[in-house]
Structure formats: structure tokens, C-alpha cells
């Protein structure tokens, strides 16, 4: 397959360097249902940039599959424009669309391989359909199979392969016509966690090596977190949130995004700590309890440049006496994001100083509740 893309194919659009690979403008899709028209996609606009891995996440029924089918025009939007590699797909005839779809490689959840064809012949199929000559097919299929790690499986049949190997064939097949973008529709949803990791690593490697733009449609935030650069959150046919994966993870703005993130980063208090929670005692103007026998729980959220500081040591040096109750740290797009929950043992003034210190260095500190001072009493 070719490496840096040259748009010499007359079927290909002539996208400017800064033109998004996919641009959706005001996409609406309405189906006629028995109960009346049902709007499944409602005014969706988004841009997928050249070379990025772009995640589209939503719960079941949010409209993801319909959106993918609109991207490759297997489903015609009721309104709006779909522009792929500079070409307005919505303006093309069915015949012209068949050629234009070579710009879009598709990877499916259930692989969709032909069982009577060998691995080699499955990957060759789109090239045969595109009318490529046998020499071109030979020169393309071999290196693609090498790239996906199946160089030794060319003569095998799908039934002889594991799920992960089948998906590697699906990926090689999707790349055969040298597309401008790879659309992966729940590409790892039928795979076990370990195989999912290896397929995601392959996609990331292809993205890095070929600069190929990838769109991932998924209901799994872990997939987005693992390899995507940006993400949109889809709910009931609308985009409810869009941003860098780091921003959406660390500061989700919508309820849907919060629930996805919550599923993944479990910052809930462990049960033994939760059992010590008491009704909020009276607090002063700094939010510090004035009641005897209850200590505040301070939650520190680490993001941004200050996330790498030895913060607990610094707070201790400032006079805080704290007992660590729970903590977790994760890395998203290579950047740390952590949450630490401590019980403050030495009273109001120390607590207020700690909050002020955190604020001054740009870290979030908040009192999230109060616990009985003596946990043996609560046991």
C-alpha cells in the first residue's frame, strides 16, 4: 500500500491540507415509524481532523450506527451535508458514491469476513471489486497482512482464526483501497479485554505509521480513553459534549459523559470509609466543621502542570495532618489525572490553610463529607 497519500486517483476528493477529513454539517435523520416520524439524528455537526483518532461514544440507541451509516452514505441523511476528503457525498449519485466510498475503510464488530475465502482473498476482495490488476493486488495484500501481523496466515480460512485474528483481517481489508479514513464500528466489542488491547494497539500503530485518520464508534469509554485524541458524546441523536479526551475525562460537562467517566474511573469511597460518613456537622464559613468528633474528608483532584508535584508532602510541610483513605491515579493521553481522599486530623485552621495552598497552585481541593473521628466506634 502507498504510504504518504497522493490524491492522484480521480475518484478521490481534493481536500486542502487543513480541510477536515470528515465534515458533518447539520445532519438530521428521520425514519418513518408506525407511530409517526422518529428523528434519530438531530442537527449533528462535527469535524474529524486529518491524522487524528476521533471517538464517538454513546449508549445503546443513541444513534451511533445511524451516524456511521450516514458518514459512508449507506443511509442518506434527511437533511445536512456529509463531506469526506473534500468531496460532498450528499451531492453524489449512487454510482458516483460507490467510487467515493473507497475513501472510507470500514471495520465491523462481527468482522463480516467471507467464510469460503482465504485470509488473502478476503483482503483482496475490495481490490478486485475496484477493478485493480492482479499485480497491484499481490503488491498490496502481502504487505497489509504483514502489517496486521498475519503474514503467515494468508492461506487460512476465517474459521481457523481467533476473534482477534479475524479482526486483523477485517482491518487489512479495510485498508486495501488506501482510504482517507478508517471507520471502526464497535470494532472491539466482540473481543475479550486482552484481544481488545492488542487490536487497539494495532489501530494506534497504523494511525502513527500511516498518519491515517481513524473514527471509533463505541459504547466503551475505555476504548476512547485508550487511543482517541478527541471525542464526541452522543445522546438521543444529539452531540451533548465534544472535546479532547483528557478534558472530557477530567471535567465531563454532561450527565451522560459523567456517567461514562464514572463507569471507568471509580472514585467512589470504599465501603469501610463510606460506613464512617456522618451527617454533615455544622461548618464555619470556610466549610470546616465546628462539631466535635467528625473530621472533614478532603478530596484533591490532580490535573494540569501541578499534578506531578509531591503534593501531600507539601501539605504536610505546611502543617496538615492527614490520613490517606483512598486514592487513584490514571494516565489519559499520557497526562496524569488523579484523585486522593484524605481525612484531616488537625482541625479547622490546618484545613483552611490546605485549601488555600491547593487553590494557589492550581489544584482542586474540596470537602466532600465528614467521617467519624474514631472509626472503631462506627464499626
Smaller CB distance to ligand ATP: residue 33 or 377? Answer: 33
Sheet holding 36-48, edge to edge: 36-48, 22-33, 79-84, 87-88
**Does the footprint of ligand ATP cover residue 188 (CB under 6 A)?**
no
60 is a contact residue toward ligand ATP (CB under 6 A): yes
Kindly tell me which of 38 and 114 has the beta carbon lying closer to ligand ATP. 38
Find the binding residues for ligand ATP in span 206-245 (CB under 6 A). Answer: 219
Residue window 343-372: x/- pattern of binding to ligand ATP, with contact defined by CB under 6 A: ------------------------------
Q: Which helix (H) or strand (E) holds 256?
A: helix 255-264
Nearer to ligand ATP, 44 or 148 (CB): 44
C-alpha distances (whole Å) from 360 to each of 1, 104, 145, 354, 357 are 53, 49, 54, 10, 5
Buried b (16+ CB within 10 A) or exposed e, 117-140: ebbbbbbbbbbeebebeeeebeeb
Q: How many residues bind ligand ATP (CB under 6 A)?
A: 13
Burial class (CB in 10 A: 0-12, 13-18, 19+), 294: buried
Residue 33 in contact with ligand ATP, rule: CB under 6 A: yes
Print the binding letters for residues 151-180 with ligand ATP: x by CB under 6 A, - otherwise. ------------------------------
Pick from 64, 153, 168, 326: which binds ligand ATP (CB under 6 A)? 64
**Least distance (Å) between residue 232 CB and ligand ATP:** 13
Asked if 159 contacts 115 with a C-beta cutoff of 8 angstroms, the reply is: yes
Length of the chain: 379
Selected binder of ligand ATP within 58, 77, 289, 365 (CB under 6 A): 58
**Is residue 338 classed as helix, strand or coil in its secondary structure?**
strand
Residues that bind ligand ATP (CB under 6 A): 31, 33, 38, 40, 58, 60-66, 219
Amino acid at each position: 500500500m502507498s504510504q504518504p497519500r497522493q490524491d492522484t486517483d480521480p475518484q478521490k476528493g481534493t481536500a486542502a491540507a487543513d480541510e477536515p477529513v470528515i465534515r458533518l454539517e447539520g445532519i438530521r435523520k428521520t425514519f418513518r415509524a408506525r407511530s409517526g416520524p422518529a428523528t434519530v439524528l438531530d442537527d449533528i455537526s462535527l469535524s474529524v481532523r486529518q491524522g487524528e483518532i476521533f471517538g464517538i461514544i454513546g449508549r445503546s440507541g443513541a444513534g451511533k450506527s445511524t451516524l456511521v451509516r450516514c458518514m459512508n452514505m449507506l443511509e442518506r441523511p434527511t437533511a445536512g451535508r456529509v463531506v469526506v476528503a473534500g468531496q460532498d457525498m450528499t451531492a453524489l449519485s449512487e454510482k458516483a458514491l460507490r467510487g467515493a466510498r473507497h475513501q472510507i475503510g470500514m471495520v465491523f464488530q462481527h468482522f463480516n469476513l467471507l467464510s469460503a475465502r482465504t485470509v488473502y482473498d478476503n483482503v483482496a476482495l475490495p481490490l478486485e471489486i475496484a477493478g485493480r490488476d492482479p499485480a497491484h493486488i499481490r503488491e498490496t495484500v502481502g504487505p497489509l497482512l504483514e502489517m496486521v501481523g498475519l503474514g503467515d496466515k494468508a492461506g487460512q480460512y476465517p474459521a481457523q482464526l481467533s476473534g482477534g485474528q479475524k479482526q486483523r483481517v477485517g482491518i487489512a481489508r479495510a485498508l486495501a483501497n488506501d482510504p482517507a479514513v478508517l471507520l471502526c464500528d464497535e470494532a472491539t466489542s466482540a473481543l475479550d479485554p486482552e484481544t481488545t488491547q492488542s487490536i487497539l494497539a494495532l489501530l494506534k500503530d497504523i494511525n502513527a505509521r500511516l498518519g491515517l485518520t481513524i473514527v471509533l464508534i463505541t459504547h466503551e469509554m475505555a476504548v476512547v480513553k485508550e487511543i482517541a485524541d478527541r471525542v464526541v458524546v452522543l445522546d438521543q441523536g444529539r452531540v451533548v459534549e465534544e472535546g479532547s479526551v483528557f478534558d472530557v475525562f477530567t471535567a465531563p460537562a454532561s450527565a451522560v459523559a459523567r456517567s461514562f467517566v464514572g463507569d471507568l474511573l471509580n472514585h467512589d469511597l470504599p465501603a469501610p470509609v463510606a460506613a464512617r460518613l456522618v451527617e454533615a456537622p455544622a461548618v464555619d464559613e470556610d466549610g470546616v466543621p465546628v462539631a466535635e468528633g467528625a473530621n472533614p474528608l478532603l478530596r484533591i483532584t490532580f490535573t494540569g502542570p501541578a499534578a506531578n508535584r509531591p503534593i501531600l508532602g507539601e501539605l504536610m510541610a505546611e502543617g496538615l495532618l492527614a490520613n490517606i483513605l483512598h486514592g487513584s491515579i490514571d494516565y489519559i493521553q499520557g497526562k496524569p489525572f488523579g484523585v486522593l481522599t484524605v481525612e484531616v486530623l488537625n482541625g479547622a485552621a490546618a484545613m483552611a490553610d490546605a485549601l488555600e495552598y491547593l487553590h494557589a497552585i492550581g489544584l482542586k481541593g474540596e470537602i466532600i463529607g465528614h467521617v467519624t473521628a474514631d472509626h472503631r466506634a462506627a464499626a
